[in-house]
Amino acid sequence: MENIFADRINDVPKSFIREILKVTVQPDVISFAGGLPNRDFFPVKEIRESCCRVLDESGKDALQYSTTEGYEPLREFVSKRYADKGINISPDEILITNGSQQGLDLMAKSVLNEGENVIIERPGYLGAIQSLSIYKANFKTVDLENDGPCISDVKKAIESNPKLFYAVPNFQNPSGITWSDSKRREVADVLSPSKTVLIEDDPYGELRFIGKPQESMKKYLEKNTVLLGSFSKIFAPSFRLGWIAAPKSIFEKVIVAKQAADLHTNYFSQRVLFDYLRNNDIDKHISTILAVYRKQREAMVNAIKKYFPEEVEFTEPEGGMFLWVKLPRHINSLELFDIAIKDKVAFVPGDPFYPSNPDKFTMRLNFSCVDEATITEGIERLAGAIKSVM
């Protein structure tokens, strides 16, 4: 049956992480592989109450088809959230999507032709590499430094007239790196004379537990920035609710792409989410999550400093869910994974975070869904695996 498939799907690999997670389901495996929020903080009781209220008060409406743009009060909530950060985005420029991943897919579907250039961070978000590969994007990578993208790389990449620049400026997946304000201004200065659209994906921006937040790229590059956001990390990922905020000229085309894909995002879930937001303090909920994530991050950083060989380098993020590890150049992370899994500890090798020429001596660790004692035990096991290779 292989001859029936389109070229666009034949060249796109399965999600490397989804395949790894199949290996980590055993209860005795300590997994730093997933990018999962901590399930202990899903507001189960409050969601149950919201479901009942929505069904009792407006069940017939909530179970009907709805508009493509999404539930207006929910879009107004997102708009106000931006306004509180000094960003002026009308509810009419916000589309509720099936997670921010769909927002990226709709943008690529609306903008990209086969073979057109797209800038992406190196390392970059695996889901974006997979999504953009469907549309046969030609990737132009820019190396990530400790405070954001290498500006000389950005200047070189922009010479290729790329359609898009996809980036995760806050607590990037996989590296945990956050762009500094100076890097944001420099990137905006490079992009402003061009027609390149910057897609700022911000699923982790609310998860800052150290330091002060940076300005959105929308502040520096207002007309050429599209924002992606998500409720998955601060509410519940299974709802698959996110949004795309785009200028009107782009928004209208994205609406058409959305209608062709699925008409509209799950309306009942939108109503339940808004009821939850109306009846609960989301900022208090986020604060509870952050207090625990900070401790988990500290546990991982301290354990790495204690157990890993000195030659190993790693990032120390101020928020988010990940940190990035650079191994000595003779330790291939794919080979290390096979050794570590025998010691019942898992991580994600760096390979899939590069569209080409992967750095095989890197790996991503997630700290958000494992308790502090287990993190320490898992890092000690992983250190043993590293030392056995050395």
pLDDT along the chain (390 residues), means of 10: 76 69 78 92 98 98 98 98 96 97 97 97 96 96 98 98 98 98 98 98 97 95 96 97 96 98 98 98 98 98 98 97 96 95 94 94 96 98 94
- CA diameter of the chain: 64
Q: How many whole angstroms separate alpha carbon 205 and alpha carbon 319?
A: 8
Prediction pTM value: 0.95
- What is the token pair recorded at 180? 């500094």
| Phi–psi pair at 201, nearest 5 degrees | -90, 125
- What is the token pair recorded at 115? 């073979």
Q: What is the pLDDT of residue 5?
A: 82
Q: In DSSP terms, which residues pair with 138 in a beta bridge?
A: 117
- What is the token pair recorded at 241? 């609710």
Of 77, 128, 116, 91, whose CA–CA distance to 246 is shortest? 91
What string of DSSP letters covers 280-322? S-HHHHHHHHHHHHHHHHHHHHHHHHHHS-TT-EE---SBSSE
Q: Residues 6 or more apart from 99 whose CB is under 8 A from it?
A: 230, 232, 237, 240, 241, 242
Give the length of the chain: 390
**Does residue 178 contact residue 169 with C-beta atoms inside 8 Å?**
yes
| Phi–psi pair at 360, nearest 5 degrees | -80, 5
Strands 348-349 and 362-366: antiparallel
Whose structure tokens read 């058409």? 256
Q: What is the pLDDT of residue 35?
A: 86
Which residues in 251-286 are b (16+ Cβ under 10 Å) and which e? Answer: beebbebbeebeebbbbbbbbbbbbbbeebebeebb
Q: How many whole angstroms separate alpha carbon 267 and alpha carbon 324?
A: 37
Q: What is the pLDDT of residue 97?
A: 98
**Does residue 181 contact residue 214 with C-beta atoms inside 8 Å?**
yes
Q: How many whole angstroms separate alpha carbon 169 and alpha carbon 201?
A: 7
ω into 174 cis (within 30 of 0) = yes
Q: What is the pLDDT of residue 18?
A: 67
Q: What is the pLDDT of residue 17?
A: 67
Q: What is the pLDDT of residue 16?
A: 67
